[in-house]
Amino acid sequence: MVFKYSVIVPLFLWGITGCGRSSTAPEPTPPAKQISVNSIKLDGSAFNSQLYNVGIRPAITVEFNEPVLPTSIASAVQLTNVSGVNTPITTTLQNHDSVLVVQPAANLLNLSRYNFTVSASLRSASGGAIIATIDKKFVTRIDSTPKFASISDDELLTLVQKKTFSYFWDFAHPVSGLARERNTSGDVVTSGGSGFGVMAIVTGIHRNFITRLEGLARMKTIVGFLNNKAQKFHGAFPHWMNGSTGAVIPFSTKDNGADLVETAYLVMGLLTARQYFDGAGADETGLRNDINLICNGVEWSWFRKGNEDVLYWHWSEQYNWDMNLPVRGWNECLVTYVLAASSTTHGIPASVYTNGWAGNGTNGFINGHQYMGIPLPLGPAYGGPLFFSQYSFLGIDPNGLKDPYADYAIQTTNHSQINYQYCIANPNHFFGYSDAVWGLTASDIPGGYTASSPTNDIGVIAPTAAISSMPFVPGPAMKALKFYYYTLGDKLWKEYGFVDAFSLQELWYADSFLAIDQGPIIIMVENYRSGLLWNLFTSCPEVKTGMKSLGFNAPYL
């Protein structure tokens, strides 16, 4: 018997094995996620702009919104120095690869600028591009290690004077003996800077940098050139002249004749030397007589431009009075009026000082306000650049000096204190300003020259400003000098002493030396130490008479 049977297939299997079979489509690949920066910090501080005073082994931490593709880091992340040279770095990923920590592999250089960049080649773990690249700069901290062996303060002052003296001795023009305008000037010599140079020669003899006979020989060369070769205009000298021929070199197009203020600085120096070389011998007697010829030949009164009650700065044979710049205070020109009143041949009456220089106390001459909590008797807001209290007072002793307008010891001291306190306050937040880095005055700047002051502060410090304030604020001045020498000496201390200026903000250091900035350093340090130049200049009989005629009184008059 044959049994027939059929296999019953459950219906639920039909859907799996039957003709109506279906398959699941593959999941689509998710789109690559772009990467962006949530935050960037340098040693824990927000790295939004250029940072200063950074350590030499900093850590840069970048937090991204997405994990980073590790293999893209090496080509994308760089740390370069100011020359664009790559600095070796180490990189570490944290927090599931979304935080990147970058550090230099070795210590960075102090007081140097570095650039941290993350380029477009950085990728997220999913392959997405970075939305915005990173380009940040920072400056490392100052190296406080002393650059030179420690010496006593007295030895340091002598060293600074001696090194600065070499600008006026070794670098003087070989024909005339006069001071070159700056270390790149060639034959261009400066009359005012040469007056400072003459005072530097007197100081050099006093400090035994040279002998008296050596100084006398140089002075005879200088005075002989000024008497016999130098071009003069109504007895006054030009701002610049050729150190070989004596011919005027225009300071500007119309400034191609007399410069009365520069002449005053030159005469101040010559009268100081005349008082120093007081020997009875023929050489020193002859030098004094030749100096008197120069000084008595300056026609101070002629520069009143037709008997006006003011002196004018410039006159030219070609342009006459076109410069039209009256010499009015308060500024660096006080000694111009003192010498004009002191002249025994071409003197001026007191009215020229009262109405012209002082403007009867108007036209901004009197100040009377306080700055940084310090009262300022005369001059513009905050006192102006520090050379206002330095150039004329290289020879004029402000101690005990008064006239109807001011006590000049207060004027010079308070002006210096205001400048000092302003730099400590540092309202513009320039890197490096402190109680050891201060002093705003006229100097070279990156790409030019300016008269820096609290109202014209571009972040440039001139060593001459603080150092030449030493007679007025000796503590702050000495602190600055020691910082410039010991701490910044590898950048500032060169063949003729301190370079003209520097900016820690810009990491810029001048390669220049200017006669009108080097001169006050050696002279004012000496006035602080011994009062030598003050004593000599104010011992001139005609200066005493002239200052009294203008209404000054002082113990030395």
Mean pLDDT of 322-336: 97
- State residue 30's pLDDT score: 77
Question: Tokens 């650039």 belong to which residue?
Answer: 115
Asked if the structure places residue 74 within a domain, the reply is: yes
Asked if the structure places residue 455 within a domain, the reply is: yes
Please say if the pLDDT value at position 31 is more than 90: no
Domain boundary among 97, 116, 140: 140
Same domain, 131 and 218: no
Please say if the pLDDT value at position 198 is more than 70: yes
Sign of torsion, CA 80 82 85 89? negative
Same domain, 454 and 495: yes
Q: What mean pLDDT value characterizes the chain?
A: 95
What value, to the nearest 5°, has the Cα angle with vertex 178 and ends 289 and 495?
A: 140
Please say if the pLDDT value at position 130 is more than 50: yes
Q: Identify the weakest region by mean pLDDT among 73-82, 101-110, 362-371, 506-515.
A: 362-371
Which among 245, 233, 232, 271 has a CA at the least distance from the CA of 178? 245
pLDDT band, residue 230 (cuts 50/70/90)? very high
- State residue 244's pLDDT score: 98
Mean pLDDT of 393-416: 98
Same domain, 79 and 200: no
Q: What is the pLDDT of residues 424-459, one digit of tens each?
A: 999 999 999 999 999 999 999 999 999 999 999 999
Same domain, 247 and 355: yes
DSSP 204-216: HHHTTSS-HHHHH
Measure the N-to-C terminal CA separation of the chain; round to a whole number of Å: 159
- Helix (H/G/I), strand (E/B), else coil: 77: strand
Please say if the pLDDT value at position 274 is more than 60: yes
Q: Residue 115 is part of which domain span?
A: 37-140
Question: Tokens 């100097």 belong to which residue?
Answer: 443
- Helix (H/G/I), strand (E/B), else coil: 272: helix
Mean pLDDT of 215-229: 98
Asked if the structure places residue 380 within a domain, the reply is: yes
Please say if the pLDDT value at position 2 is more than 60: no
Same domain, 215 and 136: no
Asked if the structure places residue 1 within a domain, the reply is: no
Same domain, 192 and 88: no
Same domain, 343 and 206: yes
CA–CA separation, 393 and 415 (whole Å): 13
Same domain, 133 and 196: no
Q: What is the pLDDT of residues 277-308, one digit of tens each?
A: 999 999 999 999 999 999 999 999 999 999 99
- State residue 4's pLDDT score: 37
Domain boundary among 140, 175, 205: 140
Same domain, 227 and 97: no
- State residue 264's pLDDT score: 99
* CATH number of domain containing 118: 2.60.40.1220
CA–CA separation, 220 and 378 (whole Å): 39
Helix, strand, coil shares, percent, the chain, to 5: 35, 20, 45
Please say if the pLDDT value at position 19 is more than 90: no
Check: CB of residue 150 under 8 Å from CB of residue 486. yes
Please say if the pLDDT value at position 16 is more than 60: no
Q: What is the pLDDT of residues 255-270, one digit of tens each?
A: 999 999 999 999 999 9
Please say if the pLDDT value at position 517 is more than 50: yes
* CATH number of domain containing 508: 1.50.10.140
Asked if the structure places residue 17 within a domain, the reply is: no
What value, to the nearest 5°, has the Cα angle with vertex 531 and ends 500 and 172?
A: 40
Same domain, 422 and 466: yes
Asked if the structure places residue 365 within a domain, the reply is: yes
Q: Identify the weakest region by mean pLDDT among 18-22, 114-118, 372-376.
A: 18-22
Same domain, 470 and 496: yes
CA–CA separation, 414 and 472 (whole Å): 8
Percentage of the chain lying above the pLDDT 90 cut:
93
Asked if the structure places residue 25 within a domain, the reply is: no
Q: What is the pLDDT of residues 353-395, one digit of tens each?
A: 999 999 988 767 999 999 999 999 999 999 999 999 999 999 9
CA–CA separation, 179 and 526 (whole Å): 19
pLDDT band, residue 172 (cuts 50/70/90)? very high
pLDDT band, residue 474 (cuts 50/70/90)? very high
Please say if the pLDDT value at position 22 is more than 70: no
Sign of torsion, CA 462 465 467 473? negative
pLDDT band, residue 540 (cuts 50/70/90)? very high
What value, to the nearest 5°, has the Cα angle with vertex 186 and ends 183 and 187?
A: 130
pTM given for the model: 0.92
Same domain, 56 and 77: yes
pLDDT band, residue 17 (cuts 50/70/90)? very low
Number of domains in the chain: 2
- State residue 9's pLDDT score: 39
Radius of gyration, alpha carbons of the chain = 35
Asked if the structure places residue 239 within a domain, the reply is: yes
Check: CB of residue 331 under 8 Å from CB of residue 380. no
Domain boundary among 86, 112, 140: 140
